[in-house]
Amino acid sequence: MKWITREHPRVDRVACPWLVQRFVDKEAEFLYVAGDTVASEAARTGATPFDIKGVELGHHGAECSFDAFVHKYRDDDPALAYMAKVIRGADTDDKKITPESVGVEALLDGMRLLHYPDDQAQRKASAAVLDALYAYCKEKVGKR
């Protein structure tokens, strides 16, 4: 499957691809393009757009795009449900939704500041942070 979103990724635009590759499609391809070309490039390439206004896998109300992916693909995983709250806080103005959100935002923003050669390299490098966050969330919900 192909997926497409805006270039220069922040929290949602690295977290959503992480979820797809870990739980939906290990061979998924991700395209990062200028924001004003996402819709036309999605139509041209057949890629599924995400984290843009007006799409199924985007922000809805207080929830961010990662929430939409969890609802659609992995609604049965309590660790991902908690991780979605963490990511929502990191990606939106609701910084106090979890105690971890501000730290996750700082780490993923720090990944951006490392100046990877392109958006794909940043996405791939961010996967280790997200793997660690998921392991933490599994442990956290397991203790409840």
Q: What is the pLDDT of residues 30-71, one digit of tens each?
A: 999 999 999 999 999 999 999 999 999 999 999 999 999 999
User: Whole domain around residue 118: which residue ranges?
Assistant: 2-142
Q: Give the pLDDT score at 72.
A: 97
Whether residue 20 contacts residue 46, with contact meaning beta carbons closer than 8 Å, is answered with no
Please give the distance of CA 124 from its chain centroid, rounded to a whole number: 12
Q: Is the pLDDT of residue 19 over 90?
A: yes
Domain total of the chain: 1
Span 116-143, average pLDDT: 96
Q: State the pLDDT at residue 137.
A: 98
What Å distances lie between residue 114 and 73, 117, 122, CA to CA?
A: 31, 9, 8
Contact 125, 111 (CB under 8 A): yes
Tell me the C-alpha distance between 90 and 84, whole Å.
10
pLDDT category of residue 16 using cuts at 50, 70 and 90: very high
pLDDT band at 144 (very low <50, low <70, confident <90, very high): low
pLDDT at 116 over 70: yes
Map tokens 């599994």 to a residue.
138
Q: CA-CA distance, 46 to 59, in Å (whole number)?
A: 21
Q: Which 8-state DSSP code applies to residue 63?
A: B
- Alpha carbons within 13 angstroms on the beta-carbon side of residue 1 total 12
What percent of the chain has pLDDT above 90?
A: 98
Q: In what order do the strands lie in the sheet with 29-33?
A: 29-33, 2-6, 48-49
Nearest-angstrom CA–CA distance, 104 and 120:
19
